Amino acid sequence: MNKSRFSVRIAIYTIMVVLGMTSTLTRVPTAWSGGGGAPADGGGLPASGPSDIEGKQRVETNQRKAEPSGPQAVEQQDNEQRATGNPDKSVEGEVGNNTANDKDSDEEEIGELGVLDTERFKASARVVPFSGGNDKVVIHIVISDVIDLGLAPFISRVIADVKERSEVVAIVSEIDTPGGRVDAAVQIKDALLNASVPTVAWVHSEAISAGALIAYAHDFILFSEGGTMGAATPIQMGAEGGAEAVGEKVTSYMRGVMRATAEAKGRDGDVAEAMVDRSIHVPGISPKGRLLTLTDKQALRFGVGDGAADSFDDVLGVMKLTGAKIEAAKPNWTEEVARVLTGPVVSSMLMSLGMLGIIIELTTPGFGLPGILGLGCLFLFFLGHYITNLAGFEELLLFGLGVGLLAVEIFVIPGFGIAGVLGIGLVAVSLVLMLISLPISVSWDGGGLLDAAAQVSLSILATAVMMLLFFRFFPKMRAANRLVLANQLGSLEVNTTTDGVDEERSQWIGREGKAVGDLRPFGKASFSGQVVDVISEGQFVARGTSVRVILVENGQRLVVRPIADGMSPSL
């Protein structure tokens, strides 16, 4: 059987679109990641950053929470800790215990580092606003491994639910992450800044890259021994797999996000910026040309951390919450599903299979398994990205318009032309937009847009290849015979149970009729007033073309061939 001209045209135009989208992909970008962590998988960056509205919300939130009360409060807290015999776990105690070790270091902060401003950078004086009680509830959230899209809706939901629970007095986030997706980290940061109760970050091991931003969004930051925080510069992976610097636009954006978050919680903005941009020089802390990563003792000394805690019980002790009921927060099933569906491998497969199913359904008679599977895959793709706040009405509208143009091209306009190209283009654009949420200019400069375009392009290319294979081999499969023509041939009174089966079916060979719709290569034709499903030899056959049955393939399928001009069919 000859190769389908229609399927070849679709594949050619599809591959042209893919090549056009991928011709500029000289690099493969990744999500924001610091020098201490591996780059995260996935697509673009989220359109979420500091704003005037966000600033007002931070002020309102901080007004509801406890504020530092000055030296008197620090002295009172220090006395309380000494009275309990546990000075090591006080906000000031950890710093005090390290005074001897750090005494000589002040004199060494000269030269490359510069002179440390001891009045500006000193141990935290935040007052813990809690008192013990068995009737109090503390929510425990674990933020570990790579930060992905599924984590953001989970933490946002937990923080939102707390607003309805008066017994909850604090949220403690146990952080141990090398970084991950920027869009997820920014969403988590926004939720934390608007929390209705005090929040505590416990850096159990490391808060690197996106983890540093999340830690900064908490009211209190506690460190376990050996904990680290910082190295939050945006990077992307080059074509050869090595890390490359992003453009200044992305770096500037992330500097602003880190500074605004740190300052919203009363911390120094320069230190936060130095974790993002190696060109930032903070005298006595961060030399120019080096990315800042703080150890637990440095973080406590320079006012980034508020205390030391080597266990969760220590966290409760430092925060004066001993005896409180601990409630571990767990993601629900929708958040778990979203975490799987938004993974780069699964989302690409859903895109490819969804588009393939829709195209096959549009080019074959009736509505059956390909359409159901295609719509199911696309539904799962949209569901995962909707839960993670990446898919909205605009993306769904563009996708629907694209599918509509493809349908017009298939059912109304012969061949394959501008409507088909525009349809594929709109579908591709809608899918790309679902993978990014930062402003287009920032996503482009940071590589997120190219990453999303590469993922969609590969999915479209895979769809084109699978479509070629389908139209090339599926018509010859027995399953196709049962799906396409079994019922229709039965209505033509073809005997399928008696000894005269082959003879009766062979009577169809040579009959002439007319295509009542385009054959792509499946379609319908009329024979003496009977309309049945047929298939061409693979080529596109326009509506109204005279055809002749040349074969009853496998005893069931009517295969037709266009009749040359001048020959009149018998209707």
Q: Could you tell me which residue, 406 or 79, shows the higher pLDDT?
A: 406
Residue 335: what pLDDT?
Answer: 80
pTM for the complete prediction?
0.60
| pLDDT, tens only, 320-373 | 888 899 999 998 887 888 778 877 778 778 877 887 777 777 666 555 677 778
Closest CA to 217 of 159, 162, 274, 144: 159
200: confidence class by pLDDT, cuts 50, 70, 90: very high
In this structure, the number of other CB atoms found within 10 A of the CB of residue 360 comes to 21
Averaged pLDDT for residues 291-320: 92
Q: Could you tell me which residue, 571 or 549, shows the higher pLDDT?
A: 549
| pLDDT, tens only, 381-400 | 888 777 776 666 777 788 78
Q: Could you tell me which residue, 268 or 36, shows the higher pLDDT?
A: 268
pLDDT cut 90: percent of the chain above it? 21
Residue 401 has pLDDT above 60, yes or no: yes
Averaged pLDDT for residues 246-263: 84
User: Residue 477 half-sphere exposure, CB side, CA atoms within 13 Å?
Assistant: 10
Residue 307 in 3-state DSSP? strand
The pLDDT mean for the chain works out to 70
Number of H helices, E strands in the chain: 23, 15
Q: Which amino acid is at 418?
A: I
Residue 514 in 3-state DSSP? strand
Q: Which domains does the chain have, with CATH numbers?
A: 7-24+343-387+391-434+447-476 (no CATH), 52-334 (3.90.226.10), 483-562 (2.40.50.140)
Residue 142 in 3-state DSSP? strand
Residue 49: what pLDDT?
Answer: 35
Tokens of 24: 């500029």
How far, in Å, CA of 203 to CA of 224, rounded? 6
Beta strands 199-208 and 168-177, pairing class: parallel
Helices (H), 217-343: 248-264, 269-274, 296-301, 312-318, 333-341
* C-alpha pair distances (Å), 41 with each of 37, 146, 168, 452: 12, 9, 35, 11
Q: Could you tell me which residue, 197 or 70, shows the higher pLDDT?
A: 197
How far, in Å, CA of 362 to CA of 423, rounded? 13
Residue 229: what pLDDT?
Answer: 96
Residue 264 has pLDDT above 70, yes or no: yes
Residue 222: what pLDDT?
Answer: 96
Under a CB-based contact definition with an 8 Å cutoff, are residues 86 and 77 in contact? Answer: no
Averaged pLDDT for residues 485-507: 47
Residue 286: what pLDDT?
Answer: 82
Residue 405 has pLDDT above 50, yes or no: yes
| pLDDT, tens only, 438-471 | 555 544 444 455 666 666 677 667 767 776 776 6
